[in-house]
């Protein structure tokens, strides 16, 4: 009796399992063939892929161009594609070998080992040429083709700012629930401009050569190889950035030459308020999340560069009289510790006298305890400065991904603490600004007080080069400094370089006259042998008399005396001059 009951239960379980299996098979083969699982996988497409050999010529994703229309993220290489089925029938191998400067034996050897299509971009004597492509295609034989293969550059310029793509099915479905036609293997922008402009860059259709095979890898429908491509002349779209490819490449090379480990540089076009070059260190490594940090958009201690703000407030409140001097034998707290003598504001700014600016800060705070942050706001230092506005259905589109925002005070109580005010005056305590904000401050001063948003993308273009959308110049909101204040600051910044004891005197022999301000900020970090680490800055613009470029360089977490900041700034100015001279 027990055995019979047990057999009944076993039968029920087996029947239930078979029923569930049938339901699952019905789901897969009948009901959800085009939207299976939470990823909405198209099972029909995936099944066809398993029986298809293909060579992708382009993934169909939009690309980034520099301001002159040169590609930044993709490259096109001439290539010869050989399909494996050629080894199973006679074909004009001798003609192909002559064209490619290869032996028949070498080609046969490659085909014998091939299980997938072979892509030749080089032969023994070098790269495949455009002429070779033309001659191969004139053979008009199925199975061998000359094509231009579009490759996404793994090592790309401005990588932290332009960003990268990756396969992220969850993000893809969350962002584009209505785009059911997108495969879960579609790459999506995960950070940088690739992410902010992702909606415009998504592929409509890729371009490839393909043929169907049986289980043994033989052509299923003869030797026909199909060419699939989107004939639409408008897509994929292209993002025309404001970057200058030559300047960007040179800037990155200079950072490498000086072995900058952490920090970077940002170069702006002052007139257009746009980024010409931008680079962050350490180099981007997709395997490490830490290397994705774009330090040019990250708030950090600015050190004495912040004295520009105190000088601005002093000028606006009439505390800049040339006869007024400060005892620069005292340190920031008013105690003996320096040996620079008595200096007025102009000399104190050039030599970066701490006591000058802590004294001014105390006087300013007695008049108005909001004056330091208000002045910072006038210079664009407490808000995101990257371009933002309306773009089609997006009312708050921002070009720059994860751009940080500067801050001045950490605690309102600090405004009543003398030491906190002193530290704030020299860009320490809780003062943190992004290099981009500081570069834009220099550009604002150079423009005579005109405060603008910074662009890194200029327009969105259709595939055929016609305009889809452009990003107009936009002012930053809020008050700004007047022309008189800007002119006084220009004089102070120039003195930093021309003064015999100025902290920027190294730049006097450059082909462009430079104006700027140095900065050294304590980080609170130590080396293994207990040496203090600093952020070393130089921020400025050039040519001084007719400003065209604003440049900021920062070497982060560097020991005293080992910073590469000045050498990098010097070399970037020189290379910009050389590039500009070669254009004329």
CATH number of the domain where residue 203 is located? 3.90.1310
Whether 493 contacts 513, CB under 8 Å = no
Mean pLDDT in residue range 260-267? 98
* Residue 138, in any domain of the structure: yes
Whether 122 contacts 169, CB under 8 Å = no
Catalytic entry in 273, 304, 359, 376: 304
- Examine the domain organization and report whether 448 and 533 are in the same domain: yes
Is the confidence at residue 36, as pLDDT, over 50? no
Q: Which of 122, 152, 182 is the last residue of a domain?
A: 152
Confidence of residue 435 (pLDDT cuts 50, 70, 90): very high
Sheet containing strand 52-58, strands side by side: 52-58, 207-212, 226-228
Whether 308 contacts 517, CB under 8 Å = yes
Q: Which of 125, 152, 179 is the last residue of a domain?
A: 152
Q: How far apart are CA 347 and CA 109, in angstroms?
A: 76
CA triplet 221, 225, 230: central angle to 5 degrees?
A: 125
22-36, 187-201, 258-272, 361-375: range with lowest mean pLDDT:
22-36
CATH number of the domain where residue 108 is located? 3.90.1310.10
* Residue 1, in any domain of the structure: no
Higher pLDDT, 143 or 548: 548
Is the confidence at residue 45, as pLDDT, over 50? no
User: Which bin fits 380, alpha (ψ -120 to 50), beta or left (φ > 0)?
Assistant: left
pLDDT (0 to 100) of residue 221: 45
pLDDT (0 to 100) of residue 43: 44
- Examine the domain organization and report whether 217 and 362 are in the same domain: no
Q: How far apart are CA 244 and CA 143, in angstroms?
A: 41
Q: How far apart are CA 179 and CA 42, in angstroms?
A: 13
- Examine the domain organization and report whether 139 and 229 are in the same domain: no
Peptide bond preceding 437 in cis form (omega within 30 of 0) = no
User: Which of 64, 169, 88, 146 shows the shortest CA–CA distance to 399?
Assistant: 64
- Examine the domain organization and report whether 166 and 145 are in the same domain: no
Burial of 239 (0-12, 13-18, 19+ CB in 10 A): buried
Mean pLDDT in residue range 393-406? 94
Is the confidence at residue 50, as pLDDT, over 80? no
* Residue 341, in any domain of the structure: yes
* Residue 481, in any domain of the structure: yes
- Examine the domain organization and report whether 373 and 393 are in the same domain: yes
- Examine the domain organization and report whether 143 and 219 are in the same domain: no
User: Is 304 known to be catalytic?
Assistant: yes
167-176, 220-229, 531-540: range with lowest mean pLDDT:
220-229
CA triplet 123, 127, 129: central angle to 5 degrees?
A: 110
pLDDT (0 to 100) of residue 147: 87
* Residue 26, in any domain of the structure: no
- Examine the domain organization and report whether 364 and 433 are in the same domain: yes
- Examine the domain organization and report whether 353 and 276 are in the same domain: yes
Mean pLDDT in residue range 238-262? 97
For residue 356, count other CB atoms closer than 10 A to its CB: 31
Mean pLDDT in residue range 285-302? 90
* Residue 201, in any domain of the structure: yes
Higher pLDDT, 512 or 290: 512
Q: Can you give the pTM of this predicted structure?
A: 0.86
- Both tokens of 559, joined, read 């020991």
Q: Which of 152, 182, 206 is the last residue of a domain?
A: 152
Domain range holding 339?
245-285+294-583
DSSP 30: I
Is the confidence at residue 72, as pLDDT, over 50? yes
Is the confidence at residue 211, as pLDDT, over 80? no
- Output b/e per residue, 419-445; b: 16+ Cβ within 10 A: ebbbbbbbbbbebbbbbbbbbbbbbbb
Could you tell me where the beta strands, DSSP code E, fall in 299-365?
325-327, 342-344
For the chain, give me the number of helices (H) and strands (E)?
Answer: 18, 24
pLDDT (0 to 100) of residue 404: 97
- Examine the domain organization and report whether 415 and 343 are in the same domain: yes
The count of domains in the chain is 3
- CA Rg value for the chain: 31
Is the confidence at residue 40, as pLDDT, over 70? no
- Both tokens of 404, joined, read 């940080």
Q: pLDDT digit string (tens) for 552-576? A: 999 999 998 899 999 999 999 999 9
* Residue 46, in any domain of the structure: no
C-alpha neighbours within 13 Å on the C-beta side of residue 198: 21
CATH number of the domain where residue 550 is located? 3.40.710.10
* Residue 11, in any domain of the structure: no
In the chain, what is the straight-line distance between the N-terminal and C-terminal CA atoms, in Å? 103
**Phi, psi values for residue 403, rounded to 5°:** -75, 130
- Examine the domain organization and report whether 309 and 166 are in the same domain: no
Mean pLDDT in residue range 451-467? 95
Which residue in this structure is represented by tokens 């950490």?
410
Q: How far apart are CA 202 and CA 183, in angstroms?
A: 11
- Examine the domain organization and report whether 112 and 162 are in the same domain: no
What average pLDDT does the structure give for the chain?
89
- Examine the domain organization and report whether 189 and 265 are in the same domain: no
Q: pLDDT digit string (tens) for 215-240? A: 555 555 455 566 566 666 788 899 99
């Amino acid at each position: 009796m027990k055995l019979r009951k047990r057999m009944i239960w076993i039968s029920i379980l087996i029947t239930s399992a078979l029923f569930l299996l049938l339901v699952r098979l019905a789901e897969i083969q009948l009901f959800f063939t085009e939207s299976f699982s939470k990823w909405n996988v198209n099972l029909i497409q995936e099944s066809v892929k398993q029986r298809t050999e293909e060579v992708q010529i382009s993934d169909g994703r939009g690309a980034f161009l520099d301001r002159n229309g040169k590609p930044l993220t993709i490259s096109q290489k001439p290539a010869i594609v050989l399909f494996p089925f050629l080894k199973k029938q006679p074909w004009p191998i001798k003609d192909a070998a002559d064209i490619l400067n290869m032996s028949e034996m070498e080609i046969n050897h490659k085909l014998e080992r091939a299980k997938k299509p072979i892509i030749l971009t080089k032969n023994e004597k070098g790269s495949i040429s455009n002429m070779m492509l033309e001659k191969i295609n004139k053979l008009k034989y199925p199975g061998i083709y000359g094509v231009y293969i579009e490759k996404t550059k793994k090592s790309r310029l401005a990588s932290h700012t332009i960003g990268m793509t990756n396969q992220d099915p969850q993000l893809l479905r969350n962002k584009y629930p209505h785009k059911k036609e997108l495969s879960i293997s579609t790459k999506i922008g995960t950070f940088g401009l690739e992410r902010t402009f992702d909606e415009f860059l998504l592929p409509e259709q890729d371009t490839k050569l393909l043929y169907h095979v049986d289980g043994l890898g033989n052509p299923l429908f003869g030797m026909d190889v199909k060419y699939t491509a989107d004939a639409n002349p408008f897509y994929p779209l292209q993002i025309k950035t404001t970057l200058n490819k030559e300047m960007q490449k040179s800037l990155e090379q200079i950072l490498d030459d000086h072995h900058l480990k952490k920090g970077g540089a940002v170069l702006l076009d002052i007139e257009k308020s746009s980024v010409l070059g931008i680079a962050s260190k350490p180099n981007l490594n997709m395997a490490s999340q830490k290397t994705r940090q774009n330090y040019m958009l990250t708030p950090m201690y600015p050190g004495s560069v912040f004295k520009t703000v105190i000088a601005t407030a002093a000028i606006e409140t009439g505390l800049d009289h040339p006869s007024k001097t400060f005892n620069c034998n005292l340190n920031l707290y008013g105690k003996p510790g320096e040996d620079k003598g008595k200096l007025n504001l102009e000399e104190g700014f050039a030599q970066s006298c701490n006591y000058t600016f802590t004294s001014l800060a105390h006087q300013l705070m007695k008049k108005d305890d909001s004056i330091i942050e208000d002045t910072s706001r006038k210079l664009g230092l407490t808000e995101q400065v990257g371009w933002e506005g309306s773009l089609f259905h997006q009312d708050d589109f921002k070009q720059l991904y994860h751009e940080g925002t500067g801050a001045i005070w950490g605690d309102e109580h600090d405004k009543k603490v003398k030491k906190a005010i002193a530290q704030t005056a020299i860009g320490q305590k809780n003062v943190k600004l992004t290099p981009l904000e500081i570069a834009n401050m220099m550009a604002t001063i150079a423009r005579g007080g005109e405060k603008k948003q910074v662009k890194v993308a200029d327009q969105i273009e259709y595939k055929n080069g016609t305009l889809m959308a452009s990003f107009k110049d936009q002012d930053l909101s809020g008050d700004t400094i007047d022309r008189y204040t800007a002119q006084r600051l220009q004089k102070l910044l120039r003195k930093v370089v021309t003064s015999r004891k100025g902290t920027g005197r190294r730049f006097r022999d450059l082909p462009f006259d430079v104006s700027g301000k140095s900065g050294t900020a304590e980080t609170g970090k130590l080396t293994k042998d207990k040496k203090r680490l600093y952020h070393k800055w130089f921020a400025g613009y050039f040519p001084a008399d007719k400003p065209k470029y604003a440049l900021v360089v920062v070497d982060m977490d560097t020991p005293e005396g080992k910073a590469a900041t000045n050498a990098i700034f010097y070399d970037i100015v020189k290379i910009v001059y050389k590039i500009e001279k070669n254009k004329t």
